[in-house]
Amino acid sequence: MMRWASAISEADSVGSAVQELSSALQADLQGASVDLLLVFFSGMFVAEAEALAMGLRRAFPGARLMGCSGGGVLADGQEREGRDAVAVSAASLPDVLLQLSHVEPEELAARAKAPLRWRMALDLIPEQQPVFVVLPDPFSVRAEAMAEGLDRAFPRCVKVGGLASGGEGPGQHRLLLDDGVHHDGALVLVMTGDIEARPLVAQGARPLAAPWVVTEADGQVIRTVDNTPVVDALEEAMAAMSEAERRLFRRSALVGVATELARPDGPRPTDFLVRPVVGLSRAEGALAIGTVVDNGAVVQLHVRDAHSASAELQDLVSREARLSTEAGEPAVALVFSCLGRGMGLFGVPNHDSRVLGDAFEKMPMVGFFCNGELGPVHGRTWMHGYTASVAFL
């Protein structure tokens, strides 16, 4: 039977952290053999990544190991941001086949152009329903292209993960694979067999005003909505907002693009892929957003704030809890939360972990604060920002 355990340490040395983590994990697993270690680390442990990996693998002989550096880490219901910390999850997976690999940036670019190279490299087909966990370096990988290539090679298969964080330039992040340390490319974990993944993507935004239908667009640029110049429609929508909503929109202007066909009762909040406004030109009558838009698409103005982000996550986790009463409790939650969430957004510690823990009291969780989060919205995998992307296994 699959078993997972998680632990977190803020010890002042690698040796002490490994001892503290291994003792906690072994106690929770009660003698079960460990097949996989997921490791996320911040602060001083980034420079000690190789020693950390070797210490954990000595503590758990035979286990595969994958992980990366982060601006913060989380496990065991606790989040540690901007501090020296290590978060680890250990898994016993007797009926699951694991494939772990590091893919160089050049090979990732080649697979983006020829997605079937993913199938050949992994010797897998979509019908095997593989579950992917992906940890790219943000400075060397076009993560959106990588996600698109994986989707084309393995449609309708769950893909989650996050961009390594904590560094300020190329070569400063650490990607751990077994005893090896990499500074670019991406780590890919593929799990097949007796395993199911249910993803949850909380984008942390709420809609403002009524939806529009795009009637003229060119790539990422919207020119008319409902046969009205988009600048005029935007001014009208802002005039109808409260002063508080206008302040929010000026600070975090977002547009949601509906990813589902029109519903009889209109689109739902979870139907939208939320993207930032990246430009507005009154002279050209153009609104540019962070994704390609087609004529006929349904779009809606959105804003992001702590209240709406918290409410959305609680609603989505509550739905997962209701589903789990029939499908069974998750064995673990893999959590990839944006650096822009946490204390900076919510003003309190452990927000996302607390919401998950309140719904699933005994469920282990592990993850980190990312430079971008990988997760699906209505069947397609996207790179997000300010998002919590969760995989319940």
Question: What is the rounded CA–CA span in Å between residue 14 and residue 308?
Answer: 39
CA distance 271 to 157: 19
Round to whole Å and give the CA distance between 353 and 186. Answer: 26
Residue 241: predicted pLDDT: 92
Are the C-beta atoms of residues 93 and 195 closer than 8 Å to each other? yes
pTM above 0.85, yes or no: yes
Structure confidence at residue 260 (pLDDT): 62
Q: What is the pLDDT at residue 265?
A: 60
Contact 92, 3 (CB under 8 A): yes
Q: Exposed, middle or buried: residue 347 (CB in 10 Å: 0-12, 13-18, 19+)?
A: exposed
Cα gap 36→100, rounded to integer Å = 10
Q: What does the buried/exposed string (b/e) look like for 241-280 if buried means 16 or more CB atoms within 10 Å of the residue's CB?
A: beeebbebbeebbbbbbbbeeeeeeebebbbbbbbbbeee
| pLDDT per residue rounded down to tens, the chain (393 residues) | 899 999 999 999 999 999 999 999 999 999 999 999 999 999 999 999 999 999 999 999 999 999 999 999 999 999 999 999 999 999 999 999 999 999 999 999 999 999 999 999 999 999 999 999 999 999 999 999 999 999 999 999 999 999 999 999 999 999 999 989 999 999 999 999 999 999 999 998 988 888 999 999 999 999 999 999 999 999 999 999 999 999 989 988 999 998 665 555 666 667 889 999 999 998 899 999 999 999 999 999 999 889 989 999 999 999 999 988 877 889 999 999 999 999 999 999 999 999 999 999 989 999 999 999 999 998 899 999 999 999 999
Contact criterion met (CB below 8 Å) for 219 and 198: no
Query: Residue 60 half-sphere exposure, CB side, CA atoms within 13 Å?
Result: 33
pLDDT score recorded for residue 1? 86
The pLDDT assigned to 258 comes to 87
